Amino acid sequence: MTEMLEHQAIGRGPARRDGVRKVTGTAPYAYEHPVENPAFCHPVQSTVGRGRITAIDTSAALALDGVLAVLTPDDAERLANTDDAELAVLQTHEVAFRGQIIGAAVAETSEVARQAADLVAVTYDQAPHDVVLSDSRDDLYRPDAVNGGFPTDSNEGDIEAALAAAEVTVTQTYTTAMYHQNPLEPHTTTARSEDGVLTLWDSTQGVHPVRKAVAKVLGLEPDAVHVVCPYVGGAFGSKGQLKANTVLAAMAARAVPGRSVRLALTRQQMFDVAGYRTPTIQHVTLAANRDGTLTGIAHDVVEQTARIKEFAEQTAVSTRSLYAAPNRRTSHRLAALDVGVPSWMRAPGECPGMFGTEVAMDELAQELGMDPVELRVVNDTEIDPDSGKPFSSRNLVACLREGAQRFGWADRDPAPRSRREGNQLVGTGVASSVYPVYRMPKSTATVRFSGGRYVAEIGAADLGTGTWTSLAQIAADALGADLASVEVRIGDTRYPEASVAGGSSGMTTWGSAVVEAARAFRAKFGADPSDGDEVEAAVQANPATDDYAMFAFGAHFVEARVDADTGEVRVPRMLGVFAAGKIINARLARSQFLGGMTMGLSMALHETSVMDPRFGHVVNHDLAEYHITANADVGEIDVGWLDEHDPHVNAMGSKGIGEIGIVGAAAAVSNAVHHATGVRVRELPITLDKLLG
């Protein structure tokens, strides 16, 4: 068992250390990093869904005043490594999807760069494109593994036999839409190539992963690439892996050596090249006894990937661990399409997958005439059905009970469409939430004593989540020092290697590295160090994972009101109760849960990227038409958590909290809408046309 920290700073709610800088506008984001005499880069994008570029005429662009360079596949630098087709920018005349970057203009101002990009004339030999996901395609294939390295399929017992023998069954198809992460800060880079060093001020979830990937693509030593990113204006997974825009910024900078080049994707361009969540088609089957005990669970998923690069969202994986049942099956099948490459988006896998499973559970509860909270309680398990290991802690039932009490669930009339207030149909719904505890294999921190203060350095990221603050709390407790005497430095490859901010793994991984370094520091220098004393240490593998399955759990409760005339849905009340180990910073954690729940509401009611199959691009590619829940859509959101003690996860006792808030939220909304109206919407988003009449 890990030696646990004594919680002093941990568990309190100090305000963000970077808060004042942000609200006063003095925290420089990537595009704003002060540089002398910057140039600007604007991408040229393909206007066909597939084909071959036969000619590119750059003369009009080059003739414009202020144009410094125009990059095209004809003459752009040859990259050292083109294994990753998404990153092999301007290396081929083949067009793989509409909106792909096929050129760029570099100019003295952003306006001239944009005008020059517009003037680049491209002729194509167009080929038919194929962008339509469907579960009846005959070319669906089985990927070798799904995101996170999980097995593609799982099979235990005999689901067909369980179905045949079951007293009650649910077999339904659920679909989630294509979603774009749409962080407020677009994907931006300021790049400079000078004296053999490429410096990238890049908006990213990990400076070290960017350095490694850029060095590989450009054939540079990692030491020759310096990546800086102290602040990020949101990412939601879309800045987790290197994307074409950053490679392009680097190439543009190398085309005008010594000059700093700024590149910001427009909102529309973000819909083309900055990643997205695949749409999913989910077939869910539940078999149960009359008392609600599940005898079988099957979750078979069809989703898309890009023809040029595989990304297989692990949509059905969480279903393997959520409820017990002797007969179980999950599978993932992909259609490879002429589309941009899908990627991580907040809780890849769990988020769409728990929509299917948790709406199916609601349908089962209805079939059984059983309270949906009780159905989940009946199927709780202390052993992870997937791995066979006991959970290090599992408080799903406690979350459901606490939530039900806080929400006033007991008064609920279970009959659908049974409550009407004025012109509104009112309903409530519940859903479970689950998210794994991840620890990345590599991260290193240094702790130094300097000028009477402790300085902890690690190349970690703060996506707006609060790393600047929470890592300081961890360092303070690991050193047994005052929070005020600890300084944290992150977001720069000058600091030791840190893993990407993904999978809600940051605190477990970086926090553990900081704890190792702090403990080594104390062991070496004692309680009274001298100026300059310094120690470096790395995160270790957690041996407890051999014996335990580790997950955070939660429960969502939602009230929905549907206008009886127009079908408009409003959600005045949401409650989330989570069991996620020790909460390191109460203020920041609340904000993360609340953000996740809001994003889940947005997924339930609003978000959908409309792919036009005739052209091959997302047509509603701006924030006027890609609807994200607005303030007026968000009513009261109540967030709570249990005081959960888990001695196995890490020295802090913490589980990740960045993603669990969104998992299950959309299902709870859909279940509430069904309770209000009697209409079961299985295709997200729940728009009013699906409820009319």
Partner 1 sequence: MKPFAYQAPGDVVDAVRSVAEDPAAVYLGGGTNLVDHLKLGIVSPDLLVDVTSLTSAEITDGDGGGLGVGGLSVGAAVRNSDLAADPRVRERFRVLSQALLAGASGQLRNMATTGGNLLQRTRCVYFQNVSTPCNKREPGSGCSALAVPGRPAPTHDGAGWTRNHAILGASEHCVATHPSDMAVGMAVLDARVRVLGPDGERVIPLTELHRLPGDAPERDTVLEHGDLITGVELPPMRGRSAYRKVRDRASYAFALVSVAAVLDVADGVVRDVRVALGGVAHKPWRATRAEEQLRGAAPTPANFRAAIEAELTDARGVDGLDGGNAFKIPLAAATVTAVLRDLAASETGDPR
Show which residues are catalytic. 659
Which residue do the tokens 């004393």 mark? 533
Supply the minimum distance, in Å, between the C-beta of residue 178 and partner 1. Answer: 11
Contacting partner 1 within 95-124 (CB under 8 A): 111, 114-115, 118
Q: Which is nearer to partner 1, 69 or 116 (CB)?
A: 116
Can residue 631 be called a binding residue for partner 1 (CB under 8 A)? yes
194 binds partner 1 (CB under 8 A): no
Strands (E), 232-326: 260-264, 280-288, 294-306
- State the Cα angle at 104 between 103 and 108, rounded to 5°: 165
Alpha-helix residue ranges (DSSP H) falling in 195-348: 207-218, 244-255, 267-273, 319-322
Q: How far is the CB of 692 from partner 1 (least distance, A)?
A: 6
Angle at 672 between CA 399 and CA 683, to 5 degrees: 110
Q: For partner 1, which stretch binds (CB under 8 A), given 79-87, 281-289, 434-442, 602-610?
A: 602-610
Q: Which of residues 23-52 bind partner 1 (CB under 8 A)?
A: 47
Using the structure block, give the residue that is written with the tokens 């695949």: 278
Beta bridge partner(s), residue 436: 551
3-state secondary structure of 255: helix
Q: Which is nearer to partner 1, 385 or 616 (CB)?
A: 616
Which x/- pattern, by CB under 8 A, does the window 342-381 give for partner 1? ----------------------------------------
Q: How far apart are the C-alpha atoms of 223 and 480, rounded to whole Å?
A: 35
Query: Does residue 648 sit in helix, strand or coil?
Result: coil
Answer yes or no whether residue 565 interacts with partner 1 by CB under 8 A: yes
Report the alpha-carbon distance of residue 478 to residue 535 in Å, rounded: 14
Which listed residue (75, 291, 612, 636) binds partner 1 by CB under 8 A? 612
- Where does this chain touch partner 1 (CB under 8 A) — which range of 220-228, 334-342, 627-635, 648-656? 627-635
C-alpha separations of 644 from 128, 147, 252 in Å? 55, 29, 50
Please report whether residue 421 would count as binding partner 1 according to CB under 8 A. no
Select the residue interacting with partner 1 from 194, 625, 636, 643 (CB under 8 A).
625
By CB under 8 A, is residue 630 in contact with partner 1? yes
Binding to partner 1 by residue 2, rule CB under 8 A?
no
Euclidean distance between CA atoms 261 and 596, whole angstroms: 34
State how far the alpha carbon of 182 is from the alpha carbons of 233, 261, 273, 563, 595, in Å.
10, 23, 12, 29, 14
* CB of residue 628 to partner 1, shortest distance in Å: 8
Is 610 a binding residue for partner 1 by CB under 8 A? The answer is yes
- Which C-beta is closer to partner 1: that of 660 or that of 691? 691
The 61-100 contact track toward partner 1, x by CB under 8 A, reads ----------------------------------------
At CA 185, angle to CA 345 and CA 348, rounded to 5?
A: 5
CB 116 within 8 A of CB 107: yes
CB of 252 to partner 1, least distance (A): 19
Among 689, 640, 670, CA closest to 176? 670
Lookup: tokens for 257: 């050596």
Stretch that binds partner 1, among 187-195, 300-308, 536-544, 620-628 (CB under 8 A): 620-628
Helix (H) or strand (E) holding 333: strand 327-337
Give me the least distance between CB of 661 and partner 1, in Å please: 20
Smallest gap from residue 580 Cβ to partner 1 (A) = 30
We find the least distance from the C-beta atom of residue 526 to partner 1, in angstroms, to be: 57
d(C-alpha 170, C-alpha 367), whole Å: 8
Among 614, 636, 643, 645, binds partner 1 (CB under 8 A): 614
Question: Which x/- pattern over 423-452 shows residues binding partner 1 (rule: CB under 8 A)?
Answer: x-----------------------------
Query: Which of 189, 465, 504, 629 is in the footprint of partner 1 by CB under 8 A?
Result: 629
Tokens 């609920």 belong to: 412
Check if the beta carbon of residue 386 is closer than 8 Å to that of residue 320. yes
By beta-carbon proximity to partner 1, the closer residue of 482 and 612 is 612
The gap from C-alpha 55 to its chain's centroid, in whole angstroms, comes to 39
Say if residue 342 is preceded by a cis peptide, omega within 30 of 0.
no
Cβ burial, residue 55 (10 Å; 0-12/13-18/19+): exposed
Could you say whether residue 605 binds partner 1 (CB under 8 A)? yes
**Is there a contact between 518 and 401 (Cβ–Cβ < 8 Å)?**
no
Q: Before 685, cis peptide (omega within 30)?
A: yes
Interaction of residue 291 with partner 1, rule CB under 8 A: no
Judged by DSSP in three states, 191 sits in strand
d(CA 553, CA 393): 9
Min CB(85)–partner 1 separation in Å? 23
The verdict on 570 binding partner 1 (CB under 8 A) reads yes
Residue 138 binds partner 1, judged by CB under 8 A: no
Which residue from 606, 655, 674, 682 is in contact with partner 1, where contact means CB under 8 A?
606
Least spacing, CB of residue 689 vs partner 1, in Å = 4
Shortest Cβ 669–partner 1 spacing (Å): 14
Nearer to partner 1, 19 or 613 (CB): 613
Q: How many residues bind partner 1 (CB under 8 A)?
A: 36
Tell me which residues touch partner 1 (CB under 8 A): 47, 111, 114-115, 118, 132, 423, 565-568, 570, 605-606, 608, 610, 612-615, 619-621, 624-625, 627, 629-633, 687-689, 692-693
